[in-house]
Amino acid sequence: MPVSQEKKEGALALVDFLFLDDDEIWQLWLTAGQLSSIVQQSIITLEPAYIAKFAFQLAQQFNNFYHKHHILTETDEARKQFLLATAAVVRRVLIQSLGLMGISSPAVM
């Protein structure tokens, strides 16, 4: 059964953002939040490559994050939820970015 968007957003509201003290994680969240400005820049300049470059950079940052932070084996439950939320946000932004370029994303990896 798919999880509703309201439930997902409610779960994100329960995340303890005090764990956002790591520069690498902060940069990942910051980069993910730049999608709308990248899209706007791409529209103004008629240059879709900005979106492709953004998606690639975000994927690289997430790859580094994923290898550094062992999400599923994290013993602190609050930190684990924060790391899962970080992964979910990046996933959502990557799916949106790919979709804007007409690229479908796999359901699971």
Q: What is the pLDDT of residues 16-44, one digit of tens each?
A: 776 767 789 999 999 999 999 999 999 99
Mean pLDDT score, 86-97 = 96
Helix (H, G, I), strand (E, B) or coil at 108: coil
Contacts of 8 (CB under 8 A, 6+ apart): 88
d(CA 44, CA 86): 30
Boundaries of every domain in the chain: 20-100
Q: Mean pLDDT of all residues in the chain?
A: 87
pTM, 2 dp: 0.81
Q: Which CATH number is 20-100 given?
A: 1.10.730.10
